[in-house]
Structure 1
């Protein structure tokens, strides 16, 4: 019989790529998403397949899946600063109540559960690069706290279910990921730069642009998650690309790629914005024999081609238009 896997947030950026990967690997895939930030266009190509099922459901409510379930991938969560500033309560609830419901389902089904944690658990880090042993520097009551603490709680309750209920778990700490199916206006730097270039606007940098990020192309991330799920390893693992770049340098690369002639302008740095972000991927290399393969040059080109293929009205859509709740 085919293995069955539930992917929460299955219509989102990463969730939809995971649906594709596990369909291609011969799994029966169940995608669950309430479409607060997800988009059915990301998975509509899978609807004709008998191996694919979609449920429109809010996982902060009780989850019922009939039949056996081998794996749960918990990727339901708002994932950008605009998201958690616009819908902070939903962000906290999906990290707490949603994770609790998924873990209860995993326990009942005897399923392995993988949770999508994030580099945001490290906050504005005082250790560089960030290893899995670093506990982080997080402001729990700052504007980013609803997301950071939701992910930290998610890790805690998942480990508790592993310790006390013997649920088989995986914890992936995802660093900045990009690629096709990102929302162009979701507030994160890389799609924001592309959107501004497509609209012919100035490129906006916050602070002086010296803050760094480490961008991993989505195909590489999905490969790392797949290997982690099948690894048997139950402690957190960083999955990301250690190639660090300042946001100023990234903006210049995107200007060169797009041929945009606009200038770079500056605005104040948001509160608690991390100054540095770079994963130590020693564990991923050692345990999973994984490391990123796609260069930033190639990944940015693929991403630009995707954004450019969107209808022009998507280029100018306001972020608030992506929300179905208030």
Structure 2
């Protein structure tokens, strides 16, 4: 039985990856310190004999007994609300955490896949974004803590690949959504869903002309799985190229939820990208992969998930408490 280590296992994507690798017959070791993850995302695996969980901060030395075939590094805050509240931890998990896991992969002779992001492109000057675009990032802006953590992560990964001959894979993840997203994490879809289900007006930042391209989680996991098993060491975009303006998307949510809220506009955050659309030509060519789930199908599944939350979860306004995780 092949063994895989997944960091950020209690997070949105991490927990779905645990499910996928268990389904494929792997022994899965999950690591998370719950800084942004949630125990409930893994509760269904408590009695699975092929799943092992370790509560640990990967910015500290990572020790795993026995062999490892694969490592997937998904430990990182991923929403602006999170990484703006814990900027140092965000930088540390992208640098120290990645360094620790690359060292572990080298010691175990394991292949490692690093979760990067479309945010490495910053506020892009080309559209759609291709893997050979270097990006337009404000290194000292508030979002730089996330953007630069991911850009460094890619750099050190390629250094290990070139210098040590380590088998590496890099996925650049574009906006992904689906069940297990945190309702109050500040990202577009859970924010809109929460507001609609609570009967509140939907908040759009700027004039709503900025665009995003939303990929359903099942498609994203399939792309990541294929990339891990491929022979390609360089970054690959995985996302749904079906682009939509945020204002139009808010109107779609109002229609989907059957509510009659208004759209209210607020100032655009600093360095918020005006366009985000993946060029997935490389993923199609290398992996035979493309997004299959339409936005209409995926949003209905996601809405049904959020609709099933308790009233307490739905109306919980405070964001995640990071005080126990902030050491320095």
Tell me the C-alpha RMSD between the 2 structures.
0.8
The answer for unaligned runs of 5 or more in structure 1 is none
**What is the match of residue 49 of structure 1?**
48
Q: Within 5 Å, give how 1:299-314 maps onto structure 2.
A: 299-314=298-313
**What is the match of residue 71 of structure 1?**
70
**What is the match of residue 26 of structure 2?**
27
TM-score normalised by L of structure 2: 0.98
Instruction: Give the Cα separation in 1 of the matches to 2:190 and 2:294.
Output: 17
TM-score normalised by L of structure 1: 0.99
1:116·1:172 contact (CA, 8 Å) conserved in 2?
yes
Report the CA distance between 1:190 and its aligned residue. Answer: 1.1
**What is the match of residue 243 of structure 2?**
244
SS of residue in 1 equivalent to 2:171: strand
**What is the match of residue 230 of structure 1?**
229
Give a deviation string over 1:77-126, Cα, whole Å, max 9, x none.
00000011111111000000000000000000000000000000000000
1:82·1:319 contact (CA, 8 Å) conserved in 2?
no
Instruction: Give the Cα separation in 1 of the matches to 2:318 and 2:238.
Output: 28
Give a deviation string over 1:230-262, Cα, whole Å, max 9, x none.
001101000000000011011000000101111
SS of residue in 2 equivalent to 1:73: strand
Q: Within 5 Å, give how 1:78-117 maps onto structure 2.
A: 78-117=77-116
Does the C-alpha gap of structure 1 residues 319 and 171 become closer, same or farther in structure 2, counting only changes over 3 Å?
A: farther
Residue 325 of structure 2 corresponds to residue 325 of structure 1: yes
Q: Within 5 Å, give how 1:1-326 maps onto structure 2.
A: 2-323=1-322, 324-326=324-326
Instruction: Give the Cα separation in 2 of the matches to 1:255 and 1:319.
Output: 24
Give a deviation string over 1:257-282, Cα, whole Å, max 9, x none.
10111111000000000000000000
Give a deviation string over 1:278-306, Cα, whole Å, max 9, x none.
00000000000000000000000000000
Deviates more, 1:125-134 or 1:309-318: 309-318
Report the CA distance between 1:321 and its aligned residue. Answer: 3.4
SS of residue in 2 equivalent to 1:31: strand
The answer for unaligned runs of 5 or more in structure 2 is none
Give a deviation string over 1:179-213, Cα, whole Å, max 9, x none.
00000110011110001001111100000000000
Instruction: Give the Cα separation in 1 of the matches to 2:313 and 2:76.
Output: 22
Instruction: Give the Cα separation in 2 of the matches to 1:322 and 1:134.
Output: 36
Instruction: Give the Cα separation in 2 of the matches to 1:143 and 1:33.
Output: 25
Report the CA distance between 1:319 and its aligned residue. Answer: 4.3
